[in-house]
Amino acid sequence: MKLWQKGTPTNKKIDHFTVGNDRSYDLILAPYDCIASKAHAQMLGKIGLLQTAEVEALVNALDAIQKAAEKGDFTIEATFEDMHSKIEYLLTQELGDLGKKIHTARSRNDQVLVALQLYLKEELKTLKKEVFSLFELLLTLAEKHQNDLLPGYTHMQVAMPSSFGLWFSSYAESLIDDLSFLNTASFLVDQNPLGSAAGFGSSFPIDREMTAEALNFSTLKYNVVAAQMGRGKIEKATATAIGMLGSTLAKLAMDVCLYMGQDFNFISFPEELTTGSSIMPHKKNPDVFELIRGKCNLLQGLPQQLALLTSNLPSGYHREMQLAKGPIIEALQDIKACLEMMQYSLSAIEVRKEITAIAKYDYLFSVETLNEWVKEGMPFREAYQKMGEMIKKGNYQPKRTLDHTHQGSIGNLQLKAIKAKMKTLMD
C-alpha cells in the first residue's frame, strides 16, 4: 500500500530502491507519527471536518497502534511503503472509511517531518541529560583528585605541571560548549511543521496553533515553504551537535588510552572493564575507549555527509532527503552508547598518586622556578636564558611546590563556577 498510488502497480526494482531501509527506521518513528496523527485528528474535529465521535474513534485506535509500536509489536511488511501507509491501513481496517479521513489536510512531507522533529526533540532532551550526568561525574572526580599532580604535555613533550583535577574539569567545561550546540539543535526542532502539507499549505482552514500546542512545540515554523526547507537542516544541526560532543569524547578517550599505557601508567581500571590478548596474557587493553574514540571520530564526519546530501537543492521536497533519516537515527544511538560507556567506565577509574615525584618529570617544574626569579625582579627573558643554561649544564634542581592561584588554574579550579555555567545552559 502506498499513499500516493493511483492504481498502477510500482515496478518491484523501483520499489526496493526507493524504499531502501526506511521501514526499519520507521519502526522507531512510528510512535511519533501516531502522536502527531492524534493531534491532527483533534484539530480536524475542531474545524468541523470530523465529528466528535469520529475524533474519539481515531484517537483510540491511534493510541493502540502507538502502544504496540512502543512495545515493539508494530511491524511494516514489504507490502507497505512506510509507517504512514501501514498506520492508515490499520485505521481503515478497524474504522472503515473513517480511517481514510486521517490524511485530510496533510501530506507525507509534513507528516514525516513532524514525526522526525518529535523524535529528535525527545532524543536531544535525553542526550542533554546524559551529558549532564557525565559532567557531574567529571566534576566529582576533579574535586576528589584536585591535589593529584599529572604531567602536562605540549607537542607530546613533558611541559608543565597539571593535575587530575585540572584534567577532569577541563572535559567537564568542554561539555558545556557541546551542550550549547545541543540547545541550538533543540531550538530548531522545536518548531511545528505540521500543516505545511507538501510545502505549500492547504485550502482547508486548519488550526496550526492548536496542533503546535497539542504537540508541545514552543512555536510554529510559520512559513510553509520554510517548514519544508527544515528537512535536512534539522538533521544537519543535530549532527553538528553530535559531532561536537563526539569530538570531546574522542579526545577524552584518546587521553585515557595513553594514560593507561605502561609507558605512562597514570591511570588504571578494574580488569573486568578491559580486554585481553589471544597470545599475550599480560595485556589489559582499553577496547571500550578505543571504540568510543573510533565511533566518535566517525560521528564527526556526519555533518559533512549531510551537507553533501542536501547541497544545491532548490526549495521544496526532494526524495534524497529521505537518506538523512537513517544516519541521524543511528548517530543518536551511537553517541548515547558512547556517553553511557564513558560514564560507566570512568566511574571506576583508579588514579595513580605521586606521579610527578620521579626524576624524569623534573623539568615540569622549571617554569615554576623561572617565575619565582621574575617575581624577585629579574627580567623574564634573562630568567628564561638563565634557566636554559642550568638545564643545559645539568645544574637544575626542581622545587616541586606549586603556587597557582588564578581562576581556572591547578590551585583554583573554579568548580562551582563551571557548575553554575552548566546549570544556566541546562535551565
**Cβ atoms of 66 and 86 closer than 8 Å:** no
Report the candidate in 236, 242, 246, 241 with the shortest Cα–Cα distance to residue 325.
Answer: 236
Q: Name the grid cell of 252.
A: 577524552
Detail the DSSP E strand segments found in 290-342: none
Q: How many alpha carbons lie under 13 Å from residue 384 in its C-beta half-sphere?
A: 3
- Shared fold status for 12-103 and 117-205+221-357: no
Pairing type for strands 191-192 and 219-220 reads parallel
Pairing type for strands 191-192 and 149-154 reads unpaired
Note the helical H segments in 190-282.
208-214, 224-260
* Sequence spans of domains, the chain: 12-103, 117-205+221-357
CA 352/CA 202 separation, integer angstroms: 66
Instruction: Give the fold, CATH level 3, of 12-103.
Output: Fumarase C; Chain B, domain 1 (1.10.275)
CA 239/CA 299 separation, integer angstroms: 8
Which CATH superfamily groups domain 117-205+221-357? Fumarase/aspartase (Central domain) (1.20.200.10)
3-class secondary structure per residue, 20-36: CCHHHHHHHHHHHHHHH
- Within 8 A by CB and 6+ apart from 29, the residues are 83, 112, 115, 116, 119, 325, 329
**DSSP letter (8 states) at residue 360:** G
CA 248/CA 398 separation, integer angstroms: 34
Facing residues of 163 across strands? 149
Cα distances (angstroms) measured from residue 66 to each of 34, 43, 77, 98: 6, 19, 17, 18
Detail the DSSP E strand segments found in 126-221: 149-154, 157-163, 191-192, 219-220
pLDDT tens series, the chain, 427 aa = 555 455 555 556 665 565 567 788 999 999 999 999 999 999 999 999 999 999 999 999 999 999 999 999 999 998 888 899 999 999 999 999 999 999 999 999 999 999 999 999 999 999 999 999 999 999 999 999 999 999 999 999 999 999 999 999 999 999 999 999 999 999 999 999 999 999 999 999 999 999 999 999 999 999 999 999 998 999 999 999 999 999 999 999 999 999 999 899 999 988 888 776 566 666 678 889 999 999 999 999 999 999 998 888 888 888 888 889 999 999 999 999 999 999 999 999 999 999 999 999 999 999 999 999 999 999 999 999 999 999 999 998 898 889 888 999 999 999 999 999 999 998 8
Residue with cell 597539571: 162
pLDDT at 1: 52
Predicted model pTM: 0.91
List for the chain the helix, strand, coil content (%; round to 5).
Answer: 65, 5, 30
Residue with cell 504512514: 84
